[in-house]
Amino acid sequence: MAGEYQAAYDESIRNPERFWGTAGEAVQWYQRFTRVLDDSRRPFYSWFPDGELNTCYNALDWHIEQGRADQTAIIYDSPVTRVVRYITYRELRDDVARFAGVLRGLGVARGDTVIIYMPMIPEAVVAMLACARIGAVHSVVFGGFAPHELAVRIDDAKPKVMLSASCGIEGKKVIEYHPLLDRAIELAGHKPDRCVILQRPQATAPLVPDRDLDWTTLLAEAEPADCVPLLATDPLYILYTSGTTGLPKGVVRDNGGHAVALHWSMRHIYGMEPGEVYWAASDVGWVVGHSYIVYAPLLYGCTTVLYEGKPVGTPDPGAFWRVISQHAVKALFTAPTAIRAIKREDPEGKYLQQYDLSRFEYLFLAGERLDPDTYHWASNLLKVPVIDHWWQTETGWAIAANYAGLEMLPIKPGSPTTPVPGYEVAILDGEGRELPPGKEGVIGIRLPLPPGTFPTLWQNDAKYVESYLDPFPGYYFTGDGGYFDEDGYLYVMGRVDDVINVAGHRLSTGAMEEVVAQHPDVAECAVIGVEDNLKGQLPFGFVVLKAGVERDEAGLVAELVRSIRDQIGAVACFKQAAVVKRLPKTRSGKILRGTMRKIADGQSYSVPSTIDDPAILGEIAAALREKGFEPLSQG
């Protein structure tokens, strides 16, 4: 590889301050940074430490000043409500400024936290940008999480105000959010001062006196608030993500590095130009939604599509092609699972024939491993580059990608191509030694991480260091395993911890185990992720009953499924479990989840030498066979 990519990559590693200092010029600063990287507090690093800016100004006001006031900023396309709305940059700025005034009026000031628990509607974007405008720190919680999960986030973020809507719409179901919000606040130790509720026509929420306020009324009465200059290192948002335990991690995003990195990525990775239409078919509750529905397209002066629908069933598997064609989308970013869902219902791609996709140039996929079958299907059907790229909530933007705007490298199905400029990716063995090409290990990133990545966890520097930096000193531990090939292409093979990916959603099996273990009949349990053709992985529970307990399996499983839905949420997709006599363990008592996963996926496995009783593996295989899996009968 010799060319634009290699030159940019080499420069970013050799001279990161020059590389990012140049990239930083594309962003508008109240006070231009004089230093690019502060590494005086290692292992903590900060980018553009003395720069002052405002993300909302960069995303809205600046474009208006540059003549984009009448350009569409958001296309809200909602097949579930049969609405398509075009919102210009001016209209969005005016709403955001007034909503920022609402927050001010409620006493929200710079540094205060605000939780946003909202569906995919323009007001969710307004809420995020309004926080950014006045320096409040937002934390968006995905609507598919149950009250308990929301409560855990309330207790960690301690929001002054919470923003929500009366309901979300999932396909044909109307999901009332207000009872979930009520329950979460009841469960949480911390209580927000106020909740502002947007009433949607599909459901009306009964407002709680002295706590709830009506969004529309407040907005109508509010005075607009201006952008506040913030330090580049001030937090823009917190986004909770699943770790290996039941306690999610509060990933912090700063203002300056984030704006610079996302701005850079829109051109160089996604090949976009200002004024063009970009669509990330995700949810504002996930990092993809933060970065590529809201911040990056707006920072770059693009039009972003906010899609309240599914890839299938709203109304059919042609939904994505309809949106691309109707709105002249240039690049779509979604998860492989969405493409698999379309392929399953329309394997021949008949629906595509109805639409003109002549303006469509790239399909970007991330969130889980892109299996070669899905890659080939999409690539043959769409006849545009299908670009796999790898990233995480923690990094906020791609770690490995191809470069539509810098240099398209040849695609190798199964690989998200090469490390993005700024990321010095290394494959490590158990002792933290770098491994050569062809050898699989844990993926680390040499410090410092580039701008836009998380500087720490919310009010928890110790956990940041312990979870991510201590495992391999000098590197950020990604939690993923993989290898490089001889051409420098990275292959990401999956998590090495207990995090699983269900339909592109990151979930913790540890959190599910905590819920299952609370059941009065359960002595111990293990939840693993098993392969699934549609969703990539699905959770599966193994349960050992307490001595003397006799239970019908179906009844118990139904109760466990209900508990996980109630405590974590429907999004966990926990539907299957088996009662077993014992769990396979090492002699020191560690449950052999990796071996169980291999058995469930029908992969060959070696019987660990440390296993307590190898016969248990046969029992696990038998339990899985009974549930329709095809495990190998022996290692």
The listed partner (ligand COA, ligand AMP, none) that binds 501, CB under 5 to 8 Å by sort, is ligand AMP
Phi, psi of 461 (to 5 degrees): -60, -35
Q: Please list every residue from 570 through 599 that binds ligand COA, using CB under 6 A.
A: 570-571, 573
Edge-to-edge strand list for the sheet holding 303-307: 83-88, 72-78, 303-307, 277-280, 329-334, 362-365, 386-388
Minimum separation from the CB atom of position 335 to ligand COA (A): 4
- Cβ proximity to ligand COA, 366 vs 528, nearer residue: 366
Task: Report if residue 144 touches ligand COA, rule: CB under 6 A.
Answer: yes
Between 13 and 570, CB nearer to ligand COA: 570
309 forms part of the interface with ligand COA (CB under 6 A) = no
Considering CB distances under 5 to 8 angstroms, the limit depending on partner class, which of ligand AMP, ligand COA, none binds residue 388? ligand AMP
Among residues 125, 339, 490, 503, the one that binds ligand COA under rule CB under 6 A: 503
Is 200 among the residues that bind ligand AMP (CB under 6 A)?
Answer: no
> Which residue, 366 or 616, is less far from ligand COA as judged by CB?
366
| Position among 291, 303, 337, 395 found at the interface with ligand COA (CB under 6 A) | 337
Question: Judged by CB, which is closer to ligand COA: 218, or 329?
Answer: 329
Interaction partner, residue 390 (ligand COA, ligand AMP, none; CB < 5-8 Å by kind): ligand AMP
Q: Does 523 bind ligand COA (CB under 6 A)?
A: no
Q: What angle, rounded to 10 degrees, do the helices at 615-626 and 593-600 form?
A: 40
480 binds, among ligand AMP, ligand COA, none (CB under 5 to 8 A by kind): ligand AMP
Whether the bond into 209 is cis, omega within 30 of 0: no
Sheet strand arrangement including 424-428: 424-428, 441-446, 475-484, 490-495
How far separated are the first and last CA of the chain, in Å rounded? 41
Report the residue number, 71 or 291, with the smaller CB distance to ligand AMP.
291
Contact (Cβ atoms closer than 8 angstroms) between residue 281 and residue 332: yes
- The reply on whether position 595 binds ligand AMP by CB under 6 A is no
Give yes or no for a cis peptide into 43 (omega within 30° of 0): yes
Q: Does residue number 249 form part of the binding site for ligand AMP (CB under 6 A)?
A: no
Q: Does 389 bind ligand AMP (CB under 6 A)?
A: yes
Task: Give CA torsion, residues 246, 247, 252, 258, to 10 deg.
Answer: 0
Q: How far apart are CA 439 and CA 33, in angstroms?
A: 41
Q: Which helix (H) or strand (E) holds 559?
A: helix 553-567
* Position 396 contacts ligand COA (CB under 6 A): no
308 binds ligand AMP (CB under 6 A): no
Q: Which of 94, 99, 95, 72 is nearest to 85 (CA)?
A: 72
Q: Is 230 in the site for ligand COA (CB under 6 A)?
A: no
Report how far residue 512's alpha carbon sits from residue 571's, in angstroms, rounded to the nearest whole number: 12
Q: Does 395 engage in binding with ligand COA (CB under 6 A)?
A: no
- Of 16 and 336, nearer to ligand COA (C-beta) is 336
54 near ligand AMP, rule: CB under 6 A: no
Interface residue with ligand COA, options 288, 399, 490, 545 (CB under 6 A): 288
Q: Give the span between the Cα atoms of 239 and 253, in whole angstroms.
A: 8
Q: Which among 521, 569, 520, 564 has a CA at the least distance from the CA of 541?
A: 564
- Using the contact rule CB under 6 A, the part of the chain among 58-66, 101-109, 308-316, 601-609 near ligand COA is 308-316
Residues 104-143 that bind ligand COA (CB under 6 A): 143
Q: Is 506 in the site for ligand AMP (CB under 6 A)?
A: yes
According to CB under 6 A, which residues from 210 to 229 bind ligand COA? none
Please choose which of ligand AMP, ligand COA, none residue 327 contacts, taking the beta carbon within 5 to 8 angstroms, the exact cut-off set by kind: none
> Taking Cα atoms as reference points, which of 266, 417, 407 lies closest to residue 331?
266
List the single partner that 392 binds among ligand COA, ligand AMP, none, CB under 5 to 8 Å by kind.
Answer: ligand AMP
The residue count for the chain = 635
**d(C-alpha 418, C-alpha 484), whole Å:** 9
Tell me which stretch binds ligand AMP (CB under 6 A): 291-299, 304-312, 365-373, 600-608: 365-373
Phi then psi dihedrals of residue 428, to 5 deg: -115, 145
Residue 501 interacts with ligand AMP (CB under 6 A): yes or no: yes
Q: For residue 197, what are the contacts with CB-CB under 8 A and spacing of at least 6?
A: 164, 165, 166, 178, 205, 207, 212, 213, 214, 215
Closest CB 23 distance from ligand COA, rounded Å: 24
Q: Is 311 in the site for ligand COA (CB under 6 A)?
A: yes
Long-range contacts of 565-569 (CB under 8 A, 24+ apart): 565/146, 566/146, 566/147, 566/148, 567/146, 567/148, 567/149, 567/515, 568/145, 568/146, 568/148, 568/149, 568/507, 568/511, 568/512, 568/515, 569/144, 569/145, 569/146, 569/149
- Report 258-287 residues binding ligand COA (CB under 6 A): 281-283, 286
Q: Which stretch binds ligand COA (CB under 6 A): 23-31, 168-176, 380-388, 512-520?
A: 168-176
Bridge partner residues of 307 (DSSP): 77
| Nearest one of 610, 607, 603 to 618, comparing CA atoms | 607
Q: Please report, to the nearest 10 degrees, the dihedral formed by the alpha carbons of residues 254, 115, 245, 462 taken in order.
A: 40
Q: Which is nearer to ligand COA, 105 or 313 (CB)?
A: 313
Contacting residues toward ligand COA, per CB under 6 A: 143-144, 168, 170, 175, 281-283, 286, 288, 310-312, 334-335, 337-338, 341, 366-367, 503-504, 570-571, 573
Contacting residues toward ligand AMP, per CB under 6 A: 241, 287, 366-370, 388-393, 416, 479-480, 492, 495, 501, 506
